Amino acid sequence: MAYRVIIVDDELLARQRIVELLETRKEFHIEAQCANGEEAIQQINTVGPDVLFLDVELKDLTGFDVLQNLNLQKMPLIIFITAYDSYAIQAFNNYALDFLLKPFKNHRFFETLDRIEERMKLNNYGTDMRQFLLDIQGNIGSSPNTMASRFPIRENNRTVFLNKERIKYICASSYYSDVHSVDKTYTVRESLKNLLVQLNATNFVRIHRSTIINVDHMQELVHSDYNEMDVRMHDQELFRISKSYKKEFLKKLGLAP
């Protein structure tokens, strides 16, 4: 019996490498390859795979978004593929069979396949979908007490736990984001939308499609003659507040009418 596999990763080379490695094992049959979250949701719901290789951060959705939109009786075995550690990995830690940290070695991948086969030998290897959704909905949006004030950032071969209060602002940079702390700037492969969810703190506010600020590091608002508004930080950096975020921003500051 061959195990049905779906691969979800927005990087073509990453998908091809997984395909090449899987093709060396006749026990696995690749049913579909998906480059984005929407396609993944459709394919997974249609196929009902036994095994899912799932990238944590896709261009349109997160792996969490994909799993929340599945309509299955039982979850497949989930193998997360990621270039960084994040709260997403922690939230799913009880449900992912394994996760592969890019760039992974061939032997590490084959270790994962061995684990899959061992789990498949159990009669009840899948997780009940209803219980899965109840549990992750309880986990997401809240962090363990020990992590509530700390933010994990993957840096090369280590994870730095940065105190949230030391983050001044975060700026989008292509497919990456620059996290500016009091001491240092970290570059992470995360969208601002996901970072804002992971920070899970009221003092972090998005003021532009490319900017999140920590209001505790804000010095003043600067008004122009053209009804435009900027925010000046304590380090004298100046950021424009876009019209689409202005109302919500002022509301959070208690300045909205």
Mean pLDDT calculated for residue range 129-157: 57
pLDDT at 159: 76
Mean pLDDT calculated for residue range 126-152: 54
Q: So where are the chain's domains? A: 3-139, 158-252
pTM of the complete model: 0.54
Q: What is the pLDDT of residues 222-243, one digit of tens each?
A: 998 788 899 999 999 999 999 9
Beta-carbon-side half-sphere exposure of residue 84 (alpha carbons within 13 Å): 20
What percent of the chain lies above the pLDDT cut of 70?
84
Closest CA to 175 of 54, 60, 40: 60
Mean pLDDT calculated for residue range 142-147: 41
Say if CB 164 and CB 178 are below 8 A apart: no
Mean pLDDT calculated for residue range 77-97: 67
pLDDT at 72: 82
Q: What is the pLDDT of residues 201-212, one digit of tens each?
A: 788 999 999 999
Helix/strand/coil for 99: strand
**Least reliable range by pLDDT among 14-18, 75-79, 133-137, 150-154:** 133-137
Give the right CATH number for 158-252 from 1.10.10.970, 2.40.50.1020, 3.40.50.1820, 3.50.50.60: 2.40.50.1020
Mean pLDDT calculated for residue range 21-38: 95
Buried b (16+ CB within 10 A) or exposed e, 168-183: bbbbbeeeebebbbee
Closest CA to 202 of 188, 183, 193, 215: 215
Q: Which CATH code fits 3-139?
A: 3.40.50.2300
Q: Which residue has the higher pLDDT, 12 or 197?
A: 12
pLDDT at 142: 42
Q: Read off the pLDDT band of 218 (50, 70, 90).
A: very high
41: Cβ contacts below 8 Å, ≥ 6 apart: 66, 69, 70
Mean pLDDT calculated for residue range 110-123: 85
Mean pLDDT calculated for residue range 101-123: 87
Residues in the chain: 257
pLDDT at 10: 93
Residue 109 in tokens: 């991948």
